[in-house]
Amino acid sequence: MQSKDLSGSDRKVDGGWIEKRDWEKHLGKSEGWDLVDKEKQILEYIQMNPFITQQELANKMGISRSAVAGYIASLTKRGEIIGRAYILKKPSLITCIGGTNLERKALGKQKVQFHTMNPVNVVESCGGLARNVAENLGRLDCNVALMSCVGNDKEGKWLLQETQKYGVDVSQVWTFPNERTSTMTTLFDYDGEMLVSLLDQAIFDRITPEMIREKRAYLTSSQAIFADTDLPKDVLQYIIQCCQEENIPLYIDPVSLVKVQKLPDRLEGINTILPNRLEAEWLAQMPIKSLADCREAAKRILERGVTNVVVTLGDQGVFYASNGEMGHLIPLKDIEVVDVSGVGDAFAAGFLFGMIHEENILRACQLGMASATLTVQTTESVSPLLHPKEIYSLVERI
């Protein structure tokens, strides 16, 4: 029997011999069938049917099931496929991680007096900093996902249903059967000024670094990540580390003077931090009484490793700083203030909208202020008027 040289141009397959070019075709290496083409074809088949099996893919492509498994493993590692059912990476995805609340707002019918009963009007709405930012971004036509948690109760179900209406992907939200959905009850004076907020957010303590780690492939598919400090300290540290390792721009809102203290001493891995005046004072370990103080505080925060600092100053506007630029923007004066809740969330969303569209930090702050301007004129935490056309139009006045 004539022997064949297995190191040359011929190979044995299933008891028969084929030429080298046919062997390469068997492996998917012939012209037009390189690795990229095969991965592209796999993604196209999965796009049509996310539940397709590896064997079905192998049959369609004329390659082995083990070869399909290898391609899928590579695509998953790179974040193109996310989890079971082969969830595909979405273009320009922004993932918002943090708080989701049912908000109850009590607005005084007259000036509120403490230590006695006050007549109020009460309304309920969707809330939570990360959730609000996600909805704002959805209304701005961004591809956005929410990573948060709710209880298995009517409040949680309603929050997810409402959030989905604005194009937010809520598939990454955990539902905990034995926990209550987070609630925030806020008392406002008759002029719209917030007086006090009461929070029941114990559910967020259930989120662990391991739970976030299981979703790392989803995170690495993101163009940008926004996080708030409703998350536990170790979860925040893991997200910062992940974004630094994967080179994903991370934007963080410190939420409150208490919660800002969850952040680590070094802020490398954070693209932009968005504190208010009190939070910035804590981060910089100095009082802020003037624009000169803002400049010094921003320098101190930048020295901790963050790339950009944007300090919101209420009716005094915004102070922004990066390693090469600093500036101060004042808000529009001819605006009727109806309700200030959600204004900071709207600013964060508008700023992030600008940054992912490759605007400079000044323009991004202007877009943030435009989003906040629309929000302050409504009783809703997220303005129904929010739209890219509207905020770009307002920017011309800032």
In this structure, the strands spanning 101-108 and 120-127 are antiparallel
CB 375 within 8 A of CB 333: no
Same structural domain, 337 and 350:
yes
Please name the residues in contact with 324: beta carbons below 8 A apart, sequence gap of 6 or more.
none
CA-CA distance, 23 to 46, in Å (whole number)?
26
Same structural domain, 79 and 195:
no
216 domain-assigned: yes
Same structural domain, 69 and 151:
no
Instruction: Give the chain's domain count.
Output: 2
pLDDT tens string for the chain (398 positions)? 443 333 343 433 333 333 333 434 444 443 334 557 888 888 887 876 676 788 878 887 889 989 998 888 888 888 888 765 655 555 679 999 999 999 898 999 999 999 999 999 998 999 999 999 999 999 999 999 999 999 999 999 999 999 999 999 999 999 999 999 999 898 999 987 889 988 899 999 999 999 999 999 889 999 999 999 999 999 999 999 999 999 999 999 999 999 999 999 999 999 999 999 999 999 999 999 999 999 999 999 999 999 999 999 998 999 999 988 999 999 888 788 887 778 999 999 999 999 999 999 999 999 999 999 999 888 788 999 899 999 999 998 87
Same structural domain, 33 and 147:
no
Residue 332 burial (10 A CB sphere; 0-12, 13-18, 19+): middle
Same structural domain, 275 and 388:
yes
Q: Any idea what the CATH number is for the domain that residue 300 is in?
A: 3.40.1190.20
Residue 117 burial (10 A CB sphere; 0-12, 13-18, 19+): exposed
Range of the domain at 49: 20-88
306 domain-assigned: yes
Residue type present at position 372: A
Same structural domain, 120 and 220:
yes
Same structural domain, 65 and 113:
no
CB 46 within 8 A of CB 81: yes
Same structural domain, 63 and 135:
no
Same structural domain, 65 and 101:
no
Cα angle at 317 between 313 and 321, to 5 degrees? 80
Rg of the chain's alpha carbons, rounded to an integer? 26
Q: Any idea what the CATH number is for the domain that residue 35 is in?
A: 1.10.10
376 domain-assigned: yes
Helix (H) or strand (E) holding 149: strand 149-151
